[in-house]
């Protein structure tokens, strides 16, 4: 396979966006290794083998989901001026190739889950079903942004299961926080497509409420996200680096919202890509430090 074709595939699945979900998944793994009650295993750190298979599972799940999203939304990608240069829309990749690639990525997820533990393997089809379902939601609900958020929000819980073989209810707090984080910045991003969504009768928060109210809704989602992160840090009795990390995330979210206004969405790409990438990576850094210095 030529380097150009590999680049085209990576562009189709937006591989660089993996930075959004993966750090939260790894945070879930760190918390599980430190706080889960695993018979015969002392609290500590995930093994390199576990981390490797979690990363493989995340890449497989996300690659399958993004490819199916492009297949299902191909008509809209061809019509929307913002998306008509995507690989399937231009014919750079064929739909038949995309189907094969999606099936292969789903198989990669299944293999990785099998290597982790039985519960992870049993739940892998459920995860794929949720991921594939998202692609249809803009056709019937304005709140598809939250479904997308949940697709990424599942990752910390999935990582906890990968380490512990069970689920701690406290991980649902982090799932909700990530869901609102992603849902909020997806509302921001959807403001760019409001006219197109109206023309083809797709649903979104900006279309339903207008750009100004959509920006307010996104801000509210992110405020609640910060509150949930504080609840999670308190529930685990995490030390000061976790709280410093929450403060950093809050500051970056405030900056993100300062970049856009109802009358100026020109800096949306900076808000969407750069700031949110820093949010996820810095969250992992600070919460990893909190786990490292926490008392046994």
Give me the CATH number covering residue 169.
1.10.357.140
Yes or no: say if 19 and 59 are a contact pair by the CB < 8 Å rule: no
* ∠ Cα 253 136 207 (to 5°): 55
Average pLDDT over residues 196-224: 94
- Residue 171 dihedral angles phi and psi, to the nearest 5°: -65, -20
Over range 135-143, report the average pLDDT: 95
Single out the residue of 148, 173, 294 nearest to residue 227, CA to CA.
173
> 215-237: b or e for each residue (b if 16 or more CB lie within 10 Å)?
bebbbebbeebbebbbebbeebe
Q: With 0-12 CB in 10 A as exposed, 13-18 as middle and 19+ as buried, what is 47?
A: exposed
Cα–Cα separations (whole angstroms), residue 7 to 58, 99, 279: 19, 18, 26
Which among 47, 57, 48, 30 has a CA at the least distance from the CA of 232?
A: 30
pLDDT at 20 over 80: no
Per-residue pLDDT at 119 exceeds 90:
yes
Are 54 and 162 spatial neighbours (Cβ–Cβ below 8 Å)? yes
Tokens of 206: 């900006």
C-alpha 296 chain-centroid distance? 30
- The Cα 100–Cα 3 span in angstroms is 19
Mean pLDDT is highest, among 89-98, 123-132, 256-265, for: 123-132
As for how many domains the chain has, the answer is 1
Q: Confidence class of residue 117 from pLDDT cuts 50, 70 and 90?
A: very high
- For 239-281, how does the pLDDT look when each residue is reduced to its tens digit (9 = 90+)? 999 999 999 999 999 999 998 888 877 777 766 678 888 999 9
- Three-class SS state of 35: helix
Q: Which residues contact 110 (CB under 8 A, 6 or more apart)?
A: 60, 121, 124
pLDDT of 15 above 70: no
Q: How is residue 15 written in tokens? A: 């591989």
Domain, as residue range, for 272:
3-293
């Amino acid at each position: 396979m030529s380097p150009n074709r590999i680049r085209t595939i990576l562009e189709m699945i937006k591989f660089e966006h993996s930075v959004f979900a993966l750090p939260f998944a790894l945070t879930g793994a760190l918390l599980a290794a430190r706080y889960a009650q695993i018979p015969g295993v002392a609290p500590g750190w995930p093994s390199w083998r576990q981390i490797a298979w979690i990363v493989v599972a995340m890449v497989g799940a996300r690659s399958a989901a993004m490819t199916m999203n492009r297949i299902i939304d191909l008509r809209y990608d061809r019509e929307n001026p913002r998306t008509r240069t995507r690989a399937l829309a231009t014919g750079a990749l064929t739909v038949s190739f995309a189907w094969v690639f999606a099936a292969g990525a789903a198989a990669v997820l299944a293999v990785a889950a099998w290597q982790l533990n039985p519960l992870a393997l049993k739940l892998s089809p459920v995860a794929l079903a949720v991921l594939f379902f998202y692609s249809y939601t803009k056709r019937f609900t304005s709140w598809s942004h939250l479904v997308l958020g949940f697709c990424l929000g599942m990752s910390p819980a999935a990582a906890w299961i990968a380490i512990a073989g069970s689920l701690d209810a406290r991980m649902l707090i982090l799932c909700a926080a990530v869901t609102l984080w992603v849902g909020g910045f997806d509302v921001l991003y959807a403001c760019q497509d409001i006219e197109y969504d109206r023309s083809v009768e797709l649903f979104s928060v900006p279309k339903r409420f207008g750009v100004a109210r959509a920006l307010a809704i996104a801000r509210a989602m992110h405020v609640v996200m910060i509150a949930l992160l504080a609840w999670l840090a308190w529930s685990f009795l995490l030390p000061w680096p976790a709280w410093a990390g929450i403060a950093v995330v809050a500051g970056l979210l405030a900056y993100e919202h300062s970049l856009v206004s109802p009358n100026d969405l020109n800096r949306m790409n900076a808000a969407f890509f750069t700031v949110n990438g820093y949010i996820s990576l810095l969250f992992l850094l600070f919460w990893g430090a909190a786990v490292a210095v926490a008392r046994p």
